[in-house]
Amino acid sequence: MAIKSSPSQAYPAPHVVLSVGGSLLNDGAPNTQMAKALASAIMSAGISAGAVCGGGKQARAEADKARDKSGSEFDADMAGIAITHKNADVLRKALGAAAGKKIFTDFLSARAAVGKQKFIVMGGTIPGITTDADSALLAEALGAKRLVNISNTAIYDSDPRTNPNAKKFDTMSYAQLISLAQLSDNRRAGTHFVFDLLACSLIARSNIETHFVDGRDLAQVKAAMLGNKHNGTIVRN
Ligand code: UTP
């Protein structure tokens, strides 16, 4: 179901949601310069967008502290979520008035803002998931048909950091992406794949075309937002 803004409303409903990797936005503290650079690339695309920000290094450090203190994974996740909110607020501010006065922390409030603001910015929502899954859920909530995952890599058939012969996918199906995410999930708990398994299943069930781009090259971000050619990976049916 596509969410429509009414003709009297100022902005069209976003067709694109961005999943902004925490590693880009926070290497121990929110990176305001990076948020500003990313915000200019987002604004230069000239379209409405949703965005969900990850936690990065500071989220992992705060989660570790919370876990050490209480032994609770719930508390560790809540500490991580708090940092995603900080990062999201830095991106919201960099996007200016068109991103409204606050970030959203649940999907229905985010959806209620459609038409009233050009950019809808969120952080994490509930413990036990990640901002990859949040971005897929926001895309579903807004009826957005494209998701752009902005991190530092495209999708490869094996880890390019350890395998020099790893092959990059230009395009791939949802089923192929799910298989790769499953492989990573099974290998070792906590093994990191570019997009987590829940997020992969969500984009597949709602046929949300997902672009994986390297956020250090902002021209790639803009191209993916507009559905133009880029150097990353496109996942679709
Ligand atoms: P992410 O793991 O999504 O951030 O959230 P990230 O830094 O972008 O992740 P990478 O770069 O892909 O590793 C940070 C942490 O916040 C908690 C989890 O503990 C997660 O690891 N979190 C986030 C939640 O519990 N729920 C959410 O909805 C989002």
Please list every protein residue whose CB sits less than 6 Å from any atom of ligand 1.
Answer: 21-23, 54-56, 59, 63, 77, 80-81, 84, 124-132, 134
Looking at residue 18, its amino acid is L
The model's pLDDT over 147-189, given as tens digits with 9 standing for 90+, comes to: 999 998 899 988 888 888 999 999 999 999 999 998 876 654 4
pTM: 0.94
Among 27, 72, 122, 130, which is best to mutate for testing ligand 1, by the most ligand atoms less than 8 A from CB? 130
> What single-letter DSSP state applies at residue 31?
-
Q: Which ligand 1 atom sits nearest the alpha carbon of residue 23? A: 11
Please check the confidence at residue 190 and state whether its pLDDT lies above 50.
no
The model's pLDDT over 3-44, given as tens digits with 9 standing for 90+, comes to: 666 666 788 889 999 999 999 999 999 999 999 999 999 999
The model's pLDDT over 8-17, given as tens digits with 9 standing for 90+, comes to: 678 888 999 9
Domains of the chain by start residue, with CATH: 16-235 (3.40.1160.10)
Percentage of the chain beyond pLDDT 70 is: 94
- Report angle CA 37, 225, 22 to the nearest 5 degrees: 50
Instruction: Give 177's contacts (C-beta < 8 A, 6+ positions apart).
Output: 155, 195, 200, 204, 210, 235
The three-state secondary structure class of 116 is coil
CA distance 27 to 18: 19
